[in-house]
A and B are shown apart, each in its own frame.
Chain A
Amino acid sequence: MATVAVPQLSGYHRPAVLDWIMTVDHKRLGILYLYFTLFFFAVGGILALLVRTQLAVADNSFVGNDAYNQIFTMHASAMLFLFIIPVWAGFGNYLVPLQIGAADMAFPRINALSFWMLPPAGILMFAGFIVDGGAADGGWTAYSPLAQQTGVGMDMWIIAVIVLGMSSTIGAANFLVTMFRMRAPGMTMFRMPIFCWTMLVTALLQLLATPVLAAALVMLFIDRNYGGQFFDPNGGGNVVLWQNVFWFYSHPAVYIMILPGMGIISEILPVFSRKPLFGYKAFVFATIGIGGLGFSVWAHHMFTTGSVLLPFFGFMTFMIGVPTGVKIFNWLGTLWGGSISFPTPMLFAIGFVSMFLIGGINGTYSAAVPVDFALHDTYFVVAHIHYVLFGGSVFAVFGGLYYWFPKIWGRQLNERLGKLHFALMFVGFNVAFFPMHMLGLDGMPRRIAVYADSAGWEALNMLSTGGAFLIAVSMIPFLIAVVMAFMRPKDQPDDPWEANTLEWATTSPPPDYNFDSLPPVRSERPLFDARHGDEEQGH
């Protein structure tokens, strides 16, 4: 494959920095997204270590109660709004045009706008730490009336989240148009790579749900600053209304945070099993099903408010286990009968399946309404979200980084370091988060800055803190591998993994506008078809 898709223009050359700032190239924007989000993953991680240090021993005064509330609020805000949600936009930006055989996103300038809204929002949110009253400290859920009481950091947080929401809304529109209008000849919707499908459903969720959050945040802002009383019972407002509108966005947001991760491992598992994804269409429909059902389960976050139609939301919450179960079958069926190898991306993908399995099972406890009465707002729920969003999403992020690193940067990450990274992270993750199940069952509420010695929670908390630091240590081999890779020349072939999808049909990294020519697309695995011709049937 030739390297150059368009002739290089000679003459004026912009400085490299300006080149990055002014770029509208989906690949460069994707890389910017990845750098930005991984930076906030590190920031959120450091905040998590502060949380875990504070909770390591009983009656601790490492950070004060005020600071603690700011720290865990900003940990969640960074991880959710500045890392997980935009990191998928990063992968999506880089990969969706390549995977569908397009030259760029449908609206490259809007794409640049989506990205450049993030840094000001991130800075604004974190600038809360230097203003009077500190950063937002009402939890990432910002429940009213508590959210009415805190300082100006809360207003900065609200504006930042609105801006981030606008970024993901216009980004979502861009993804949808790109996938609907710019697919390569022959690529029907049901031949689209599975990662694209998960991005498509994610974009739909963002388009439908994020404006609701924006509206709610504007109302909260008015309440705080201009006496709006939307959520203030003394003025005729309703406290529970905030929770309804917040979770109407934020439950679909959980799927916004996990579906692209499912897409990533559904690219990785078939490649290293040397088989097609088992039940491609079932997977697509399950993804759509999760997206649809995701809009009807929000009140399961509110069972203990006493103002929820319990049977309906309990039932819908159980039902969302069905498409989730289908996906587990998809992944098992893909491995089954395969020819499986275990390079680092595959380890992270299998790590995802096993941890997400636990995250699915411990979620059913909250669907069983009477059990949720006991476990809601305890560390059991903290365990659950981390099994889904760390054991799931974060493992998928790293699986995706190891998998597409040769494509994006033209270099391979060291396998031994990658495996060490995986092993440390897998063990650290379980040591950090599994004990939280026991703490929750033993009655430890979430979001408490201190606990009494007499509560008997110290040993498990200490264990969990040890696990958190082990996760931090696991980043060392990863960073070494990245530095080592960047010290080497770009030596990767088009398709180092014998993969299936079109991004591997161009050079590593791809040239401007991506492709000189495209292989014919006659299935969801055009590169497999090109390698094996008609010798292997099965389509």
Chain B
Amino acid sequence: MLGMPLSRRLRLISATVAAALLALMATATASAIQPGGITDEARKMNDLFWIVTIAGLVVFVLVGAALVYAMIRYRRQGDELPPQFHGGGKIEVAMVGVPVLIVIALFTISMITLVDIDDPAEEDALTVEITGFQFSWQFSYSMADLGTNTDPNADPEDRINIIGTLQPIDTPDDEIRPVLYLPVDEEVEFILISNDVIHSFYVKDFLYKLDLIPGRVNSFAVTPRVTGDYSAQCAELCGTNHALMRFIVRVVERDEFDAWVAAEAARQLGDDALVSSPGTQGD
């Protein structure tokens, strides 16, 4: 068919394919090294991620190797017809059986993780109401529900609100993004609300997202374990400036959180909003 001798051509092709497969495997491994997340829940999900990844890589290497081997070993070497094998009972049972076992195992492990991370929030968890709107976020804290350091005398109507504004497209620096303050090592429950279109509350380092749906209230709880700033953004297409619905999750020590609450309360609610000063109630 072609000028080049058959065997040379085949060796070239098989080498190319083998190299491509190897390169893919290498990148797959490298890519999988993602940060494990900063919440208890994220770490469990990350474990599951690795189980799926290892199972996937094993399947990929076995099937890929068989494919490359077959292409080299069984390349056409003459006009003689190979045995006309149509398949048979036992092999076809294995064809079904092996995938069934793999998927049932993976499903079972997934469900165990799902149940594990899906615990409802504790009574005393800090609650933050998250409202997505075109095109930013509002983070709302009730003064009567600040988690372990809640002031029992606070007025439940008193809230501090962080309201983001539309970020100009050409502002690369993070300063302009709304910041969601969270105390480290404490469970926090998010109440997700939208009044315009669907948004999705996505914090990469939680390894989690949940949609904000008009007409529906979603919620989930996590316990962040690592202080720091984490960039996050809307994950559901919500219109022209969807890409600019960015925000920062700032996980801080409890006293820093209390100081921030005090400052925001003073700014937003006036000095008398706090019946007693935060930082003294903790026990």
Quick check: B71 and A280 within 8 Å, CB to CB? no
**Roughly how many angstroms separate A506 CA and B60 CA in the complex, as a whole number?**
41
Quick check: A441 and B31 within 8 Å, CB to CB? yes
Quick check: B67 and A305 within 8 Å, CB to CB? no
**Roughly how many angstroms separate A362 CA and B74 CA in the complex, as a whole number?**
29
Quick check: A350 and B103 within 8 Å, CB to CB? no
A437 at the interface (CB under 8 A from B): yes
Choice from B49, B170, B174 contacting A454 with Cβ under 8 Å: B174
Interface string of A188-226 (1 = CB under 8 A from B): 000000000000000000000000000000000000000
Quick check: A306 and B64 within 8 Å, CB to CB? no
In the complex, which residues of chain A have a beta carbon less than 8 angstroms from the beta carbon of B240? 65-66, 69
Task: Give A464 Cβ to nearest chain B Cβ, in Å.
Answer: 12
A15 at the interface (CB under 8 A from B): no
Choice from A280, A329, A371, A455 contacting B48 with Cβ under 8 Å: A371
Quick check: A59 and B31 within 8 Å, CB to CB? no
Quick check: A146 and B198 within 8 Å, CB to CB? yes
**Roughly how many angstroms separate A393 CA and B52 CA in the complex, as a whole number?**
25
A449 at the interface (CB under 8 A from B): yes
Choice from B106, B111, B241 contacting A65 with Cβ under 8 Å: B241
Quick check: B238 and A279 within 8 Å, CB to CB? no
Quick check: A342 and B10 within 8 Å, CB to CB? yes
**Roughly how many angstroms separate A238 CA and B215 CA in the complex, as a whole number?**
7
Quick check: A146 and B84 within 8 Å, CB to CB? no
Quick check: B215 and A357 within 8 Å, CB to CB? no
Residues from 250 to 292 in A contacting B, C-beta threshold 8 Å: 273-276, 278-280, 282
Known: A376-B235, A377-B236, A447-B237. A434 touches B70 (CB 8 A): no
Q: Which residue of chain A is the closest to B198 with respect to CB atoms? A: A143
Quick check: A354 and B64 within 8 Å, CB to CB? yes
Quick check: B214 and A276 within 8 Å, CB to CB? no
Choice from A328, A338, A347, A358 contacting B74 with Cβ under 8 Å: A338
Quick check: B103 and A318 within 8 Å, CB to CB? yes
Choice from B13, B30, B213 contacting A305 with Cβ under 8 Å: B213
Q: Which residue of chain B is the closest to A535 with respect to CB atoms? A: B81
A227 at the interface (CB under 8 A from B): no
**Roughly how many angstroms separate A16 CA and B45 CA in the complex, as a whole number?**
63
Known: A377-B200, A536-B84. A339 touches B103 (CB 8 A): no
Which of B17, B34, B92, B117 has the most chain A CB within a 10 Å cutoff? B92
B211 at the interface (CB under 8 A from A): yes
Quick check: B196 and A145 within 8 Å, CB to CB? yes
Known: A59-B169, A69-B240, A368-B48. A437 touches B83 (CB 8 A): no
Q: Which residue of chain B is the closest to A365 with respect to CB atoms? A: B52
Quick check: A337 and B64 within 8 Å, CB to CB? no
In the complex, which residues of chain B have a beta carbon less than 8 angstroms from the beta carbon of A314? 107, 110-111, 114
Known: A65-B241, A434-B24, A441-B34. A374 touches B85 (CB 8 A): no
Task: Give A41 Cβ to nearest chain B Cβ, in Å.
Answer: 24
**Roughly how many angstroms separate A332 CA and B87 CA in the complex, as a whole number?**
11
B243 at the interface (CB under 8 A from A): yes
**Roughly how many angstroms separate A61 CA and B172 CA in the complex, as a whole number?**
13
Interface residues of B (CB under 8 A from A): 1-2, 6, 9-10, 13, 16-17, 20-21, 24, 27-28, 30-32, 34, 42, 44-45, 48-49, 52, 55-56, 59-60, 63-64, 66-67, 70-71, 74-78, 80-87, 91-92, 95-96, 98-100, 102-104, 106-107, 109-111, 113-114, 117, 169-170, 172-174, 196-198, 200, 202, 204, 207-211, 213-216, 218, 231-244, 246
The 4 closest A-B pairs by CB, nearest first: A233-B215, A443-B204, A325-B99, A538-B84
